[in-house]
């Protein structure tokens, strides 16, 4: 059997970027004594280091170099087939009390958990290289930027972190020498990639993450879900800001007026596509630009919300990505990218279901097995991913590096709902908007292990990512509202409503610009709407539907609400709140009653 993560021989002049901060040095030494690696590689994030590590990864068969002409400087990684998605059932919040983790998180007592993890990590890196990755989350000059260090025995993690974060010397410099400075400790080991020994554990009070037994991005790129969302949300509440599972996009009108919008959709529900949207021909002169595609860190200044994208790259779902669905993503992943669990063609190109053009006559599927169009199984895993630098995105917003962030005019919630939720509506105010986010639901996807297609409540798309008690999280949102003099308007969208025959009613993708335009019109006080029990609803005349080949009756269905479906929905809201066992703030319980009452009048 192939050895997992054998040590690399470190070239002179590489892997020596030790920070001066004694707290970091002590912690690395402690992990070294425990995990007993063969050697330590201190990453600096340089180009030379990257080239060296890519070469090593290819020699170890961790990466396969793709066709240089077709996808320059790009590689394929195949994960262990038992390790293809986030594992929510093995993800823990280890707070001193269970109550701090709250009803939506798996809780584990910190002392016991540290001790169990220490046992698992004992000698875990023997014969392996221990990489130390310094990184920052956020633009280098932002006041809310955070420093993290991730220790890992996976070269794939190092190469991915180099794309996903600003990594290396920039972080060492930002941290400086103060041993009391705030920074996140992350330890990752593949162990033997056995689901029985797979745990993703967060210790918010210690600003520490320990992840073992997986190599899948969402479990092991500790900057992303673990730091930027779980630990991030905990720090954000304590420090008075917000860490949210949201894309951030800019919309500029032909007259040059620009707004920024943040949108929370659950995993694999189209955040990347929305963030990179290209307006249809009819919207000539309109421009959509991307600040971020997954995570927003937001602060309040002058009574307004300002957002930064803490990441430096995109870790997106590949299947379904095409020049039709997302041309900017296709251009981004055409070079300098890592692919995970897609198919490999005979000429070393990548392929996946939903890519432009006919399927190849023969390929190797995501597990490396022969595949033809007649094969029963998919060539690419439904949760196969690309990892690509945000610099590759032709629609990258010019203010993406702005440390103070971009001002947010609107927040959009949304999920995959076959029924009930109209294409778009606007909450009456901040508090009903928080209720809207708190009761959000979506059909589950392949981004996490478990059943796909089941409706589950996913408040603010943060169910798997809120690092503390969800009741306190709702309270934090309500408190933020009281500090805003110029709050963003709050909306809900649903691109996935289906008709009586199970067909999608809305074309989605670029045509979502029509919905975005209504959102912007509302922000500018110019969009029409009618009052409904759930909020402000556009009529077909309020949304620009020119040059859209969708029947009028579908539009009416998309924009309408069915009172019977909403009775059921209200019952589900109540069930959800009840299931949280008394942590839901009074204000939101009252919002539910108000909503119910509005349906009766």
Known catalytic residues?
Answer: 269
Q: DSSP string of 204-235?
A: GGGTEEEEES---HHHH-TIIIIIIIIIHHHH
- Nearest to residue 222, comparing CAs of 298, 142, 134? 134
At residue 519's C-alpha, the angle toward residues 515 and 523, to 5°, is: 165
Under rule CB under 6 A, residue 267 binds ligand OXD: yes
Nearest to 455 by CA among 354, 565, 562: 565
Residue 272 near Mn ion by CB under 5 A: no
Q: In 3D, which of 111, 116, 120, 132 has the Cα closest to residue 35? A: 120
> How many other C-beta atoms are found inside a 10 Å radius of the C-beta of residue 444?
18
| Coil vs helix vs strand at 420 | coil
Binding mask 334-373 for ligand OXD (x = CB under 6 A): ----------------------------------------
Question: What part of residues 146-205 is at the interface with Mn ion (CB under 5 A)?
Answer: none
Copy the structure tokens of residue 439.
């009761």
- Tell me the C-alpha to C-alpha distance, in Å, between residue 243 and each of 57, 60, 136, 238, 576: 33, 37, 15, 11, 23
x/- letters, 66..105, toward ligand OXD (CB under 6 A) = --------------------x-------------------
Residue among 360 and 414 whose Cβ is closer to ligand OXD: 414
Q: CA torsion sign, 454 to 459 to 465 to 471?
A: negative
Contact between 386 and ligand OXD by CB under 6 A: the answer reads no
Question: What minimum distance in Å lies between the beta carbon of 267 and Mn ion?
Answer: 5
* Residues 293 to 312 in contact with Mn ion, rule: CB under 5 A: 294
Give min distance, CB of 561 to ligand OXD, in A. Answer: 28
> Nearer to Mn ion by C-beta: 49 or 311?
311
Report in angstroms how near the CB of residue 452 gets to ligand OXD at its nearest: 13
Q: How far is the CB of 257 from Mn ion (least distance, A)?
A: 30
Number of amino acids touching Mn ion (CB under 5 A): 2
- When asked if residue 91 is in the footprint of Mn ion (CB under 5 A), the reply is no
Of 204 and 218, nearer to ligand OXD (C-beta) is 218
Select the residue interacting with ligand OXD from 83, 100, 150, 294 (CB under 6 A): 294
Distances (CA, A) of 496 to 417, 423, 506: 6, 8, 7
Q: How many CB atoms lie within 10 A of CB 551?
A: 10
Using the rule CB under 6 A, is 381 a contact of ligand OXD? no
Q: Is 289 helix (H, G, I), strand (E, B) or coil?
A: strand
Query: Among 19, 213, 218, 535, which residue sits at the site for ligand OXD (rule: CB under 6 A)?
Result: 218
* Residue 267 found at the interface with Mn ion (CB under 5 A): yes
Q: Which is nearer to Mn ion, 183 or 216 (by Cβ)?
A: 216
SS3 567: helix
- Nearest distance from residue 425's CB to ligand OXD, in Å? 25
Quick one: what does residue 41 bind among Mn ion, ligand OXD, none, with the CB cut-off 5 to 8 Å set by partner type?
A: none
571: exposed, middle or buried (C-beta count within 10 Å: 0-12, 13-18, 19+)? Answer: exposed
Provide the 3-class DSSP secondary structure of residue 326. coil
Dist. CA 595–CA 269, nearest whole Å: 26
Q: How far is Cα 545 from Cα 513, in angstroms, rounded to an integer? A: 10
- Closer Cβ to ligand OXD, 271 or 573, answer by number: 271
Is residue 315 close enough to count as binding ligand OXD by CB under 6 A? yes
What track of x and - describes contact with ligand OXD for positions 123 through 162 (by CB under 6 A)? ----------------------------------------
Binding mask 397-436 for ligand OXD (x = CB under 6 A): ----------------------------------------
CB 303 within 8 A of CB 266: no
Q: How far is the CB of 393 from ligand OXD (least distance, A)?
A: 16
Q: How far is the CB of 162 from ligand OXD (least distance, A)?
A: 17
Positions in the binding site for Mn ion (CB under 5 A): 267, 294
Positions in the binding site for ligand OXD (CB under 6 A): 86, 218, 267, 294, 315, 447
């Amino acid at each position: 059997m192939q050895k997992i993560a054998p040590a690399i021989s470190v070239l002179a002049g590489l892997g020596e970027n030790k920070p001066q901060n004694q707290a970091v040095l002590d912690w690395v030494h402690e992990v070294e004594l425990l995990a007993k690696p063969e050697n330590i590689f201190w990453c600096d994030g340089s180009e030379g280091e990257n080239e060296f590590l890519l070469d090593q990864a290819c020699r170890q068969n961790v990466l396969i170099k793709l066709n240089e002409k077709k996808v320059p400087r790009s590689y394929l990684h195949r994960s262990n087939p038992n390790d293809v998605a986030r594992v929510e059932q093995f993800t823990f919040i280890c707070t001193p009390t269970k109550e701090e983790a709250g009803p939506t998180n798996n809780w584990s007592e910190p002392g016991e958990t540290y001790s169990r993890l220490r046992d698992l990590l004992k000698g875990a890196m023997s014969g392996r290289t221990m990489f130390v990755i310094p990184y920052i989350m956020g633009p280098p000059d932002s006041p809310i930027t955070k420093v993290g260090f991730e220790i890992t025995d996976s070269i794939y993690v190092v190469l991915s972190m180099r794309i996903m974060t600003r990594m290396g010397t920039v972080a060492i410099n930002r941290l400086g020498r103060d041993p009391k400075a705030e920074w996140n400790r992350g330890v990752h080991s593949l162990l033997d990639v056995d689901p029985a020994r797979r745990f993703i554990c967060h210790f918010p009070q210690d600003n520490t993450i320990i992840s073992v037994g997986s190599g899948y991005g969402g479990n092991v790129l500790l900057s992303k879900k673990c730091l930027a969302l779980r630990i991030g949300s905990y720090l954000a509440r304590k420090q008075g800001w917000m860490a949210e599972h949201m894309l951030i996009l800019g919309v500029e009108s032909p007259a040059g007026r620009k707004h920024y919008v943040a949108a929370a959709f659950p995993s694999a529900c189209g955040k990347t596509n929305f963030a990179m949207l290209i307006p249809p021909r009819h919207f000539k002169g309109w421009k959509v630009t991307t600040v971020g595609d997954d995570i927003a860190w937001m602060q309040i200044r002058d009574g307004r919300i300002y957002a930064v994208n803490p990441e430096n790259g995109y870790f997106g779902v590949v299947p379904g990505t095409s020049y039709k669905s997302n041309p900017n993503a296709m251009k981004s992943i055409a070079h300098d990218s890592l692919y995970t669990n897609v198919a490999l063609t005979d000429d070393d190109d990548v392929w996946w279901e939903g890519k432009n053009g006919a399927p190849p006559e023969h390929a190797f599927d995501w597990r490396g097995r022969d595949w033809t169009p007649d094969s029963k199984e998919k060539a690419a895993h439904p949760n196969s991913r690309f990892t690509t630098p945000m610099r590759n995105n032709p629609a990258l917003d010019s203010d993406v590096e702005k440390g103070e962030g971009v001002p947010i005019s609107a927040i959009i919630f949304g999920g995959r709902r076959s029924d009930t939720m109209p294409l778009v509506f606007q909450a009456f105010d901040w508090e009903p908007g928080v209720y809207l986010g708190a009761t959000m639901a979506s059909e589950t996807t392949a981004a996490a292990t478990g059943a796909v297609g089941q409706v589950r409540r996913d408040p603010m798309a943060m169910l798997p990512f809120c690092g503390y008690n969800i009741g306190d999280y709702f309270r934090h949102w309500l408190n933020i509202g009281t500090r805003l003099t110029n709050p963003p308007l709050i909306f809900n969208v649903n691109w996935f409503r289906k008709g009586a025959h199970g067909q999608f009613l809305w074309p989605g993708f670029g045509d979502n610009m029509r919905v975005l335009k209504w959102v912007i019109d509302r922000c500018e006080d110019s969009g029409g709407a009618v009052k409904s029990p759930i909020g402000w609803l556009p009529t077909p005349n309020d949304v620009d539907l020119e040059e859209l080949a969708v029947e009028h009756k579908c539009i009416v269905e998309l924009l309408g609400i069915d009172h019977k479906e909403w009775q059921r929905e209200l019952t589900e809201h109540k069930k959800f709140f009840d299931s949280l066992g008394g942590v839901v703030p009074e204000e939101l319980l009252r919002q539910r009653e108000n909503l119910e009452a509005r349906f009766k009048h």
